[in-house]
Structure formats: C-alpha cells, structure tokens
Structure 1
Amino acid sequence: MVTDTKSMIIDISTTLFQQKGYKGVGLNEILKECKITKGSLYHHFPNGKEELLIACLDSMSRAITTDIEDIFKRSLSTREALQVMIEQLIGDFERQGTIAGYTFTSIVSEMASFSEPVRNACSDLYTKMQGIYVIKLHEDGFSKETADSLALMMTASIEGGIMLCLTQKTSEPLKTISHVLLNLLKERQ
C-alpha cells in the first residue's frame, strides 16, 4: 500500500506541476487532489514539496526515456526514429492541445536556478535523451563529435519546438523542426 500511495501522489503531483508550475501548486492543493493528510505526504516525502518535485521529475524522466528508447530501437535510422517521435508529439498536441508528458522545460526555467537537486534531475533527463540519440547516430555512421553535436541540436530543437507549440497553440513549430532536422540528417548521410 505504501508504494501505491506514493505512486499516486507522484502521478497526481506531476500533472499539477506540469499544469501550474512548481510555485503555482501549493501543498494544500496537492493534499486535496491526492485525498491525503499532510502526515501521509511527509511520510513518503520527508523533505517536502521539493523532494516530491524531484520524484515527479524522475518518474517523468523514466517514462520519457522509455518511450524514446522504444521508438529509436524499432527504427532503422535516426531520421526514421526522429520522424516517428515528432509525429507522435504533433499527434498528441493536435488531439489534446498539449504535450504535457514530454516536457518539463517550464519547471526547469522556474526552479533550476533555485535548486541544485531539481537542476540535476532535469539535466539527467536531457543527458539520457541525448545519449539515446547519440547511439542511433553512431549506428548511422556519424563520428562521435558529430553525433554529440547533432544530439544536442535535436534535444534543443525538439524541446524548443514543444514550448513554441504550447505558447502559439499550433503544431506548426514541431512540423517545421521535423522538416529541418530530417533534411539536415539526410544531407549528412
């Protein structure tokens, strides 16, 4: 039961943090949405809200990394994997009007300068994402240096594209990024 309650707190809090940001969500709102007491929250997260946020970021990181790994393992090339991944993001945005499960850039911009543990949790996800891209780029024949550079650019472009989609309320930024990245990879192969 302990794990179920803890997982439930993480799941609900993740959604709240994604929707409202870290500072926009109070402990009382978390307690109310989770239908738990303050004692129960502190039983699972003795260091409070920041520890809960880090658990949420770790949970998101595992989910995002697993999804990206699956796409890249099934795909024959980086271009194919990138196309599948971005099409999935575009489809999610067009169906739901958001891409909540794939980004936490807003949390990074809000908290990274205030909390080293939060910054580290966010950095860890970006490092894992780039690592997945680098492996596939190596398989495609790119040198380590080129693969590292392309992986960084892919990560930054996709994250930026997600933020632009959310702020502009259109999937066009990701469509443009997909076109540019796919052409860049095609030219380099």
Structure 2
Amino acid sequence: MDTKSLIIEVATKIFQEKGYMGVGLNEILKECNISKGSLYHHFPNGKEELLIACLHTLTEKITMDMKQIFKKHPTTEEAIKAMVNQLIIHFETEGTITSYTFTSIVSEMGSLSESVRNACSLLYTNIQKIYCDKLVEDGLSLETANSIALTMTASIEGGIMLCLTKKSSEPLREIANVLTKTSFNL
C-alpha cells in the first residue's frame, strides 16, 4: 500500500472512532509511522484536506458495496434486507458499523466547513440514488421512489447510530422490518 493510501485508511478509521475534533495529526502520524513532512506532501492543506480525502474514499467504498448488493437482488425489498443484514452481521462480529457511515463526522464538521459538508452530501446523494433507482425498477414513480429513498436513507443512517449507542443490532433489525412492511406495500 502506498503512503497516501495508508494515511487515508488509518485516518478514516481514527476519524470515525474519535471524530474530527478528537484526533490530532500527531496521532495519525504515529499510527502511520510517518513524518509530518510526508503527511503534508500528500495533503498540503492539512487535516481538513485529509478528512475530505477520507470522506471521498469512504463514499466510493460504500457506494460500490451497495451497488453490488442491489445488483444481486431482483427487488428493493430483498436488497434492503440483504444490506441491513450485512450491517447487522458486521456490527455483531466487529462491535461497530463505522466503516459504513460517517454520520458522526457530518454532525461534527458539516456546519463548520462547506467543503466537508459537500463531501458528506455526496455519499447521501449516492445512497439515495441507489435506493431510488431500484424502487423505480420495482415500478414506483420517480416522485414516490425519491420520497421513499430519502426515508430509507435517513432511517438506516439513524439505525446505525442507534446500534452504536445502544450496542445492539436491534435498531437495524426493527428498521428493516418497518421499511419492508411499509415502503414496499404501496
């Protein structure tokens, strides 16, 4: 793995665990075993530029994972069940779901930096589009699909946060039940 990729991988994990404000560059440098000069070589504008790179990398990973799941399943209902089940399994085996969200970073930084807010917005736009496209495939109108996709995005993101705070996968299980009972019986 090249140095830039290492920095992004390590920083993403630390930002997700501790938030942007809770992490100093020295901690990232130590975890990566690199010099400050090396970090600034790759990220001349410092910590915020690094955060944005982390958010873009995370967006690509999450979007790719979701697209693969949604391609494998013929209906939105089946795809949502499979995706939420994957989140639950990850939570139950790892004790966290941080690699699938950056809600904590959004709440901390979204109002402070327009560039960070835009990077975060991209992920949620991508997620909502994946849901919407599949719902349209299922026969829903674009307007209805957009509305349901927004609700699904908000529900699942909220469920992830509840799982983390309650240390239980039950919120995602319940959200999956409610989504599949209401969203797909229109």
TM-score bracket, shorter-length normalisation: over 0.9
Aligned equivalent of 1:154, options 152, 159, 170: 152
The equivalent of 2:141 in structure 1 is 143
What is the distance in 1 between the residues matched to 2:142 and 2:43?
40
Query: Moved runs in structure 1, 4+ residues, more than 2 A?
Result: none
Name the structure 2 match of 1:55.
53
2:72 pairs with 1:74: yes
- Which one of the candidate residues 114, 118, 122 is aligned to 1:120? 118
Q: Which runs of 5+ in 2 are unaligned?
A: none
Q: 1:102 is matched with which residue: 95, 100, 103? A: 100
- Under a length normalisation based on structure 2, what TM-score does the superposition of the two structures give? 0.98
How many residues align? The count is 186
Is the counterpart of residue 25 in structure 1 residue 27 in structure 2? no
Matches of 1:113 and 1:30, distance apart in 2? 24
For 2:162 and 2:72, the matched residues in 1 are separated by 28
CA RMSD of aligned residues (A): 0.8
Distance 1:185 1:17 in 2: 33
Give me the whole-angstrom Cα distance separating, in 2, the residues matched to 1:56 and 1:133: 23
AA at the equivalent of 2:175: I
CA displacement, residues 112-158 of structure 1 (integer Å, 9 cap, x when unaligned): 00000000000000000001111100000000110000000000000
The superposition leaves residues 27-65 of structure 1 with CA deviations (integer Å, 9 ceiling, x where unpaired) of: 111111111111110000000000000000000000000
Comparing 178-187 with 109-118, greater Cα deviation is found at 178-187
Equivalent position amino acid for 2:7 in 1: I
Cα offset for 1:186? 3.3
Question: What letter is aligned with 1:70?
Answer: Q
Match of 2:165 in 1: 167
Identity of aligned residues (%): 65
Matching residue's letter, 1:21? G
TM-score by length of 1: 0.97
1:63 maps to a residue whose letter is K
- What residue identity is the alignment partner of 2:98? A
Task: Quote the Cα distance in structure 2 between the aligned partners of 1:141 and 1:86.
Answer: 22
1:184 Cα deviation from its structure 2 partner: 1.2
The partner residue of 2:130 within 129, 132, 140 is 132
Q: Indicate the larger mover: 94-103 or 157-166.
A: 94-103
Residue 21 of structure 2 corresponds to residue 35 of structure 1: no
Aligned to 1:184: 182
Structure 1 residues not aligned, in runs of 5+: none
Shift of 1:187: 1.4
Matched with 1:89 is 87
